[in-house]
Chains A and B, each alone.
Chain A
Amino acid sequence: MEIVLVGLNHRTAPLDVRERVSFTLEQARRAADELRSRGLLEESLVLSTCNRSELYGVPPEASHECGPELSSFLSEFHSVRPDVLNGLLYQHYDRSAVRHLFRVSAGLDSLLLGEAEILGQVREAYRFAHEQGATGPVLNRLFQGALETGKRVRSETELGTRPMSVAAAGVKLAERIFGKLADRTALVLGAGNVSEQVVSTLRDRGVAHLFVMNRSRDHAEALARQFGGRVLDWGNWETALLAPDVVVSSISAEEPVLLRTVLEQAMAARSNRALFLMDLGVPRNVELAAADLYNLYIYNIDDLSEIVEQNRHARESEVPRAEAIVDEHVGKFLSWQASVELVGLVEALRSRIREERAAFIRARLDGMNHLAQADRERMETLMDELLEKLLVEPAERLRGEKELRRKIQNVEALRDLFLRHREKP
């Protein structure tokens, strides 16, 4: 056992427990220090996001399952009673721990399948732990592998490409019409939660100008302040609809607010420049009859939800390809790990033989008084040469042949066979 993982996520633990065992950066640093000073882990790394808290580590001694100790460490560190965490924590070792991390990094373990943020969070957690000196050769290699897996899954599959929220789908659609939104203008009608999500996404995509219009000016001003926009007076449609390329509407009103006549005038005033209208109001804010106006693209909440649903199916169908990439990288990592361990094992074997050779030869040559000193030395050299030859060749082959390393999966067995009761090299 080389790598251990203890943690919980959105699937195993409710939000209030996740909150209690989450780590700030400072806590992550302190945890790593304590784990090392207590001799629990040689290398350690804390991955803490809103959906998961995970502790990755390399224990100092092989063949010792330290999961339970790490679990009690977690409850002690966060002052949570152990029975609260009972059944919520998972423990993984070696292959299963590697696989877990690579799936996390690929977005396969996320609440929102294929979401992109997790890769950044893994990168950040690794960078921090690395800077603090908490990681070592094994975790360095492990997390580099995880980042590589995440990047490949993102570039080679469509797991993360399609928008998965109504806000993101709407903004992506606007990009289908206008291309990059960098020099575009957006108008937000209504200042509720839904508007906020869309505005945030629009700002992320670099929309240049933002206008907010709401019945209550206070709410409009709050939203405008938050995202750096300007407030327009309610009801002045002709001016309001002149500049924007994208209009997001989520007004709570019984009847449509944007009537066909209003939009017809607005389109004429803007010389029919294309307008994308995201109608998120229920009941709808835009009169249905406006749909046939030239260069006007209207999407309501159902249209956008349908796109999100289609995208969810599309993402799910990409899972097998993503899993295949994960498996490939898990194999790669394990083969690297085996090669390091095997080379270490052969080195240990050589130093053991070197240690024992002198005493062994002396004992065997004791009774052979007829041999001259030169002959004794000659025999010692011959024996050295033989031992070297026997050991150097397999060591070279282990370094050079990937397939051979893959075949020798159980290094522990070899270590037991040749180096029983001796310390790990």
Chain B
Amino acid sequence: MPHLFLFLTILAYALSLISYLRFLYAGKSHAGRLGTVFLGLGLVAHYFALLERSRGLHTVPYHDLYGSLSLFGWLLALTYLGLEFYHRQRSVGAFVLPFILLFFLAAHLAGAGSDRLPPTQAHGVVFALHVTLSILAYAAFALSCVLSSIFLLENRLLRNRHLGDIVWRLPALDLLERMSQSSVLIGLVSIAVGTVLGFVWVDRLTGQYWYYDPKYAVTLLVLLLYVVYFQLSRTSNWRGARASRLNIFNFAVVILSFTVVNLYLSHSHRYF
């Protein structure tokens, strides 16, 4: 049964999405709880799907683009679940699950593992932590971008006094801000530790702390931008729509780092 976990993961995430949507539109609290349960089951199945795939290809999940995407989806789900428990708020699930599902589908259905890193380079615990923490950071940034987008949407509806049904279901603006800040904090810690580990690993591999890669500059820029966001978003002058716009801009830079920089500029960071 080679595709069992694949199938189970898709099923669990899809059911979770449906439940969260029901919770959002019909306001049924048991549907929200069901969404959380299915997401938890999805995480477990996704873990085994990742494991199975890695075993099949005799490699770690982040060895190719698809694996990285799948791991990204898994960490996004994990971060979201953590935030959901911490802030006791389920109405964001309906906005996050489509992304998780999309990343998983893109990774596992579209892809073979033909385009891989040369295996000799990527070994060891330090490297694994470097990659995992970096992907976790990007997942957390993505999540905070989703939260800021919801903030802007809800803020616009409230400011224009066009409420509709949806406003009563979304979390309060204040909570969305705090969730977004928590998410960015997770991202900041992960990316800081992940980057340091990256340098340690490069040092071990090549014997030198630094050799220039444009990815470093972009990563430091990302780190800086999110520190700025984290600080500003807690001052009253920036609280609200301004901070949320800055957060979305920051994530645009992350996407830039993922696409243009990885594909055309960097020589050691292809997939993350």
Contact = CB atoms under 8 A, between A and B. Distances in A.
A273 B236 contact: yes
Interface string B217-251: 00000000000000000011101111000000000
Nearest to B160: A291
A175 B175 CA distance: 10
Contact of A271 (B161, B175, B237): B237
A274 interface: yes
A173 B170 CA distance: 12
A274 B239 contact: yes
B123 interface: no
Nearest to A295: B240
B239 A177 contact: no
Interface residues of B, number: 24
A273 B236 CA distance: 5
A176 B161 contact: no
B172 A272 contact: no
Nearest to B240: A295
A237 B30 CA distance: 47
Given A158-B27, A270-B236, A177 B175 contact: no
A273 B242 CA distance: 12
A297 B240 CA distance: 12
Residue among B29, B159, B168 with the highest chain A CB neighbour number at 10 A: B168
Given A158-B27, A161-B27, A303-B161, A176 B172 contact: yes
B173 interface: yes
Interface in A155-189: 155-156, 158, 161-162, 172-173, 175-179
Contacts of A175: 172
A314 B163 CA distance: 13
A274 B172 contact: no
A175 B159 CA distance: 14
Contacts of A73: none
A177 B161 contact: no
Interface in B240-272: 240-242
B18 to A, nearest CB: 18
A294 interface: yes
Contacts of A172: 168
B4 interface: no
Contact of A314 (B154, B165, B237, B241): B165
B29 to A, nearest CB: 7
B151 to A, nearest CB: 11
Contacts of B28: 156
A177 B174 contact: yes
Contacts of A179: 171-175
A266 B181 CA distance: 27
Interface in A272-321: 272-274, 294-295, 297, 299, 303, 307, 310, 314
Interface string B139-179: 00000000000000010001101010101101111110000
A133 B28 CA distance: 38
Given A155-B29, A156-B28, A161-B27, A177 B158 contact: yes
Interface of B is mostly: loop
Contacts of A310: 163
A173 B158 contact: yes
B15 to A, nearest CB: 20
A166 to B, nearest CB: 14
Contact of B236 (A156, A162, A173, A271): A271
A226 B236 CA distance: 33
Contacts of B236: 270-273
A12 to B, nearest CB: 34
Nearest to A177: B173
Interface in B164-205: 165, 167-168, 170-175
A178 B174 contact: yes
Given A271-B235, A272-B237, A178 B158 contact: no
Nearest to B170: A176
Contacts of B239: 272-274, 295
A270 B237 CA distance: 9
A179 to B, nearest CB: 4
Nearest to A296: B159
Given A156-B28, A273-B236, A177 B172 contact: yes
Contacts of A162: 168
A343 to B, nearest CB: 35
Contacts of B159: 297
Nearest to B161: A303
A38 to B, nearest CB: 48
A299 B161 CA distance: 7
Interface of A: 155-156, 158, 161-162, 172-173, 175-179, 270-274, 294-295, 297, 299, 303, 307, 310, 314
26 contacts: A155-B29, A161-B27, A161-B168, A173-B158, A176-B158, A176-B168, A176-B170, A177-B172, A178-B173, A179-B173, A179-B174, A270-B236, A272-B236, A272-B239, A273-B236, A273-B239, A274-B173, A274-B239, A274-B240, A294-B240, A297-B158, A297-B159, A303-B161, A307-B163, A310-B163, A314-B165
8 cross-chain pairs, A with B, having the tightest CB-CB distances, nearest first: A179-B172, A273-B236, A271-B236, A179-B174, A295-B240, A271-B237, A303-B161, A179-B175
Interface of B: 27-29, 154, 158-159, 161, 163, 165, 167-168, 170-175, 235-237, 239-242
Given A175-B172, A274-B239, A299-B161, 15 more contacts: A156-B28, A176-B154, A176-B168, A176-B170, A177-B158, A177-B174, A178-B172, A178-B173, A178-B174, A179-B171, A179-B173, A270-B236, A272-B240, A307-B163, A314-B165
